[in-house]
Structure 1
C-alpha cells in the first residue's frame, strides 16, 4: 500500500557556476512526486540532470528556484534542519570509496549510528541488521579491513552504512555499476526486499534497463535537465514511438519481443520479465507459428 508523498518537486531549476563563463544549467523545470513505499527509477542519458536532481534529496544541493519538499522539509527555506533531513534520506554514491573512511567494516557502518548518539547495544543491533540486509556476515566481516575489500563488498559496506541510520528514503546512484552478475543479482534482491518487505522508499538512478524493469514501480525519464516522460515500466517500455524519440534503452527481453512483433508474430510486448518473455516465446513455438510463418 503506497502512502502520502515523501518527495514533491515542482519547476526545479539549478545552475552550476552561475555568472561565470563555465555556467551550466543542469535542471530546467523538473517535476517529480514520489510516494512513501514506492520504488522509483530515474533514467536518461549522461548529462540529463539525474545526479544533480538526486543530490537535492538530502540537501547536498539547494534549489536555485522551484519547489523541493523532502519528507516535509522545504529546501527552498533558508533555515532547515539539515541533520534531520540526512537522517531520513540516505544517499549512496556510485563510487563506494566516497563513503568509506574507517579502517574496519564494523567501525565504518557504526559511525553514523554513533553520531546519532545511540547506545552501544542499539548501534551493534543496527550494524548487525544492516550487514545482514546487504548479505555480509556480521561475525565474519565486522573486523575485516575496508581497504582489502572487493568492489562489490565495498558497495555493500557503503549501503549498510546508510541502512544503519534507518532512513525513510534510500537514494542509489547506479547501485550495481561494476559488479559481477552474481553480486549484481544479490544486491538487486536485497534492494527489492528493503522496498517490498521493509517498506523503505527507494529511488535509484540506472542505465541498466533490466534493473529498472525488475525493481521499479514507476520510471522518470530525464532529458536536457527536464523530466520528459513518466509512468510504469510497462507504460515506458511498450511505447515504441517515445522510446525512439528519447532514445531510451530497453531490457533485452523487450528488444526480443519487439523483434518478433516486427516479424509478424503475435506477442505481448509488455511481458518484459524474463519468465513472461519466455512464456511468450514458448507460445509462439508451440503454436507452430515459426514453422508456418511466411508460407
Structure 2
C-alpha cells in the first residue's frame, strides 16, 4: 500500500460566497514509502492546497486522502498522531519559528510529545547536526538574528526532531543564495536516501526537481495532468510545451543544440551528463555536418 494515496480530491475555498474558488478538481497521486516526489505547476494549480491535506491542515471535502493507511475523511482522525507522522515545512520559515532561542524552538515539539529531557536533547542534537547546524555553537543563539538559510534549517530541524515518516516541503529553497540552496538540497537528499525518509516537495525550480525527485507530478487547473520520472517528463518536448513546464537549464541547452542541428542526448539532464554531451559537440565527435 502506498504511504500516501490521493483519489479524486476536491477543495473549494470560501464556498458559497462571492469569493468562492475551486482549488482542487479531482486531484490524485500516490507515493510509495521511501520515494522523493516533486509536485510542480504554475501558481494557482493547487499544489499548496494539495500538500496541506497530507497532515490534516485541510480535511477532504470530497475524494479520499489516505496517509500511512489512515483515511482522513473519517471524523475521528487523531490529528496529533498524524502530524507526528507527517512533518510539513512551510515556504516561509518565520511561520514556524516562534521561540527566542534555536534550541528551545527545535525542542518544542519533542517536549509536547512528553518525551524525557535526555531524549529531547538527543533528538535536538541529531536534528540540528542533520541539517548542518552545530549543536554546541547554535543551540543558544537567538532566532531573530539568523539568515534566511539558517531559519529554513531551524524550521526543518524542528520538524525532524519529531521523527516523522513523511517530510513535506513547500518551496524549500525559495529566496536562498546558491550556496545555501545547494547545502539544503544535499541535506534533503541525505534524509531521503540515507535516512529513508519519504519526501514530497513543491518547487518551481526545475534544477532541484531534477536533482532530488524520483518521480514528478505536474498539476494544472487543480488536478494532476502528468506524472513520470524526471527523464520521462523533461525529454517529452510536446508535453513540455502543452503544459508550459519549465525545464532545467541543462535540458534547455541540449534542446537548443538539437535545434541547431547537433545530435545530442536530451535525456542527459544532470550537470555531469549534459557536460559530456556539450564537450562531444565542442570536440566535433558528435555533431552533424552542415552543408
Aligned to 1:213: 210
Report the counterpart of residue 52 of structure 1 in structure 2: 49
Post-superposition, which runs of at least 4 consecutive aligned residues in structure 1 deviate over 6 A?
A: none
- Per mean C-alpha deviation after superposition, the further-off stretch among 134-143 and 281-290 is 281-290
Partner of 1:179 in structure 2?
Answer: 176
- Match for residue 113 of structure 1? 110
The equivalent of 1:240 in structure 2 is 237
Q: 1: CA distance between counterparts of 2:20 and 2:284?
A: 60
Mapped to 2, the partners of 1:133 and 1:72 lie a distance apart of 28
8 A contact 2:2–2:31 mirrored in 1: yes
Q: 1:289 to 1:88 in 2, by over 3 A?
A: closer
- The 2-side partners of 1:206 and 1:289 are apart by 34
Alpha-carbon distance, 1:40 to partner? 0.1
Q: Distance in 2 between matches of 1:214 and 1:259?
A: 21
**TM-score using structure 2 length:** 0.98
Aligned-pair Cα RMSD in Å = 0.9
Match of 1:146 among 143, 147, 156: 143
1:210-237 deviations in Å (ceiling 9; x for gaps): 0000000000000010100000000100
TM-score with structure 1 length normalisation? 0.97
Q: What is the aligned residue count? A: 291
| CA-to-aligned-CA distance 1:68-121 (integer Å, 9 cap, x gap) | 101111111111111110000000000000000000000000000000011111
Contact 2:264 2:286 (C-alpha < 8 Å) held by counterparts: no
Q: What SS class does the counterpart of residue 3 from structure 2 fall into?
A: strand
In 1, Cα distance between equivalents of 2:246 and 2:90: 23
C-alpha distance in structure 1 between counterparts of 2:44 and 2:180, whole Å: 28
Q: Which runs of 5+ in 1 are unaligned?
A: none
Which residue number corresponds to residue 84 of structure 1?
Answer: 81
In the alignment, the residues of structure 2 paired with residue 149 and residue 287 of structure 1 have an alpha-carbon distance, to the nearest angstrom, of: 50
- Deviates most, 72-81 or 57-66: 72-81
Residue 289 (structure 1) shift: 5.4
Note closer, same or farther for the CA distance 1:288–1:6 as it changes in structure 2 (3 Å cut).
closer
Number of the residue aligned with 1:7: 4
Aligned twin of 1:97: 94
CA distance in 2, matches of 1:208, 1:289: 30
Q: 3-state DSSP class of the match of 2:186?
A: helix
Between the aligned partners of 1:284 and 1:145, the Cα distance in structure 2 is 52
Query: Which residue of the other structure, out of 258, 262, 268, is the alignment partner of 1:261?
Result: 258
- 1:294 equivalent in structure 2: 290
Quote the offset at 1:263 in angstroms: 1.3
Task: Render the CA deviation track for 1:42-80: whole Å, top value 9, x for unaligned.
Answer: 000000000000000000000110011011111111111
- Distance in 2, matches of 1:79 and 1:19, equals 26
Distance between the aligned counterparts of 1:208 and 1:288, measured in 2?
32
Deviation at 1:288, TM superposition (A): 4.7
Q: Does 1:157 align with 2:154?
A: yes
In the TM superposition, what is the alpha-carbon distance from 1:266 to its structure 2 partner? 1.0
